[in-house]
Structure 1
């Protein structure tokens, strides 16, 4: 007799979820099976085996045994089937009381949960579950929790398929919170794993401080080991606290290392300042043994090699400085600074004696300048002040005295240049006047009169250039019989013409021509009364027989049009001083086609 378990009703979405779970569970079972060659007993059941060919008789006892055995077998198979289904869909399978309990929750709003609301909750959980599957779950406790979540999701699918929407909504809502907690747990695991890796890296980097802070290293090692065990057990928050404690112990070990290095560097620098080469080398080497990349230590080794020579040069410089031989003292300090560019004593001694040397030279130059100025020898005084400025370029008093001396020396030159500029301007010689004003400004950049004259003459030069240009433009228009454009340009030129400027013969002739051509001329137009006559860009005359129009002198186009006839185009020149023209225009030729 063969028994089958009826399939659990499922939607297409439920079937995809079952497939996803099937992809997870085998991996878990594969990882839990640690014995690849485990023996399995195979039982072959053949009811015909051992039976002879003859038929046995059915007795009452035999029939009762068969009925009892078959019933027992049926109960066993049904129990195994139900247990298997509960392992997949959850313990609530075939338990009405569980469903009733979930639907009779304290929240009265669940009694009105619609199918759409339950389906929306299911979709939100499904999306969250898909996102959760993408997270790395390489920890046994997380894999186990993922399997339980997958099973719980299938349980919600069953409730939704059975139209128990209130229970399904409550189920999926709770499952959503569980998925959120699981995602946070995965992220915490990643943070904890990173903290552990950083602890290991830092312990390796600070290994050179082990003998300086052995207790701190032991504490850090113990905390890291304890945290690792918590991590393996899945207690990530507790593991993170242990790793933080390990970091704190390593911080203390690093501080002990820093104190050791700083103390040796301090001793080494004191030895360098005293010129004690052996003691300086020993202290620098001790510091570099614990901190090989320390820049002060690496530089200090070089300084220690020349510490005795540098000290001797500094002593020599101090003796010369006491004798006020500042140039020689600066040279001794400078040689010491060349050997040890980090020696503050050598650097300060060099700077101090160079400053004293400059002060001596400055005082001598100022004394010469004062003497020459009292003697009104301005050139010699200027030279002395310039020599003083070379010694001290930032000395404001020297700069002021030099400026005053130069001002006195050039005052007459400024007066002369300014008088020359005014003379040129009075003769309307603008170019020469502007050049003299420019010369004055070079001698005295702050001279207001020179600046005003320079700008005034420049403006007059530009005005004359514009005047001549407008006259040329007006003349060009007049030559092309564009009298109105010529008149406009000529009027603009007359508007900006300086009052003192007389008209040349060329300009006078142009004015006479433009005066003559500025008056309108009576022009008579004649046509056959059937054509449309127009003056391009001037006026439409229409169908006329005869009409007189006042037109300003210039060149015009006369157009005549008539339907069915070819257009007629005439060029007309209107001028004053000649007989008024009579224009006859008509369309007489028929259009072809």
Structure 2
């Protein structure tokens, strides 16, 4: 019994305060002292029962019935014939053992209760379950009262009730942490610095090992600066300074990267900035389109398309730009070709009309213009050839073509007004053709021994002097003689020329 008493835990952790009675004059005896006295008496009685009574014990009596109060250890009136001394001697060893066992059970229940109490107090239970914790404490206080009265079974029951209540609180702790963590995160998101700071301290007590709690409380000190940046960004946003507003929000995100509200604000500001840049680009494009600055318009619309790829407006604007540019080019081509026609630059006008048709093959003005300018361009080309190479007219076929060209030029002049270039070219070509068509006397001199051939005209044979009629132009005379080297002479026949040629073979061939 003494060992149980030495290891016993005092049930005083909840500091119960005994109810004071007006008639009570002194404190009750210490339970510890009573335990010692009971233990000593028990040992004495046990020795008496084991060593002294057996030889003197009479034959056992029959077992008492269940209705016998003495058999149940229940105290009966004095009239039953059993005095208190006899009753104590019959039950003391077993009763004391049962009492020690009950006391030990109560102490064990109290030990677990104290451990749970310490854990909950370390987790700031008074901040999140003060009422429930006090109710559990009341059970423990009742247990202490029973313990003082040596009603250990009742004390154990009350300790177990307190233990169950504290176990329920400990089981609630994760949910309580989650709920307060959500509240803390909401305070961080809404900028409640003071409340977040208080709640963060409590959460660190409730869940000191939780990484989520540690991360959340680490964000609390940045709340004031984040709130200030959000306010600055909001003012800038109201002034439509979206770029600067977004910069403030991005600075706040650098302070608190997990901040969901900041991410949402940044997205909204980024969209506003994109829309602003998009509208600016589209406006710049249409302004450039209005003044036919197609390169600037195209660049602006392409920039807008990059800002909002899903928007159809830039594509439609680019199509409009392309159509406007084509129309502008066509108008420019038609205008340019008309000026070229007026200046009788027929080849250039034809080329311009071809460029217009390349852009729009259905353009009637270009088709009609090409049909009008191509023949004139060809006529000018042929007139230039007559003027630049009159010697070719010695060829009858070429002369016939030249005469046809002159007639076409005269016909064009008759059907058109104010064509000075054509008139000048036609007049010069006509003179050249006329001169080429009028034979001139040409004197050919030789030694009477050389065979003379006027290429593409006639064989003249041997002559000493002969006059032939040739149209102006360039001719070649070939002289040949046996035993002598052939000679080839070029003769240019024309007005105001001597038109005389001497051809003979004089260089003998040595054998």
TM-score (ref. length: structure 1): 0.27
Structure ranking higher on relative contact order (CA contacts 8 Å, 6+ apart): 2
Structure having the higher Rg: 2
TM-score (ref. length: structure 2): 0.30
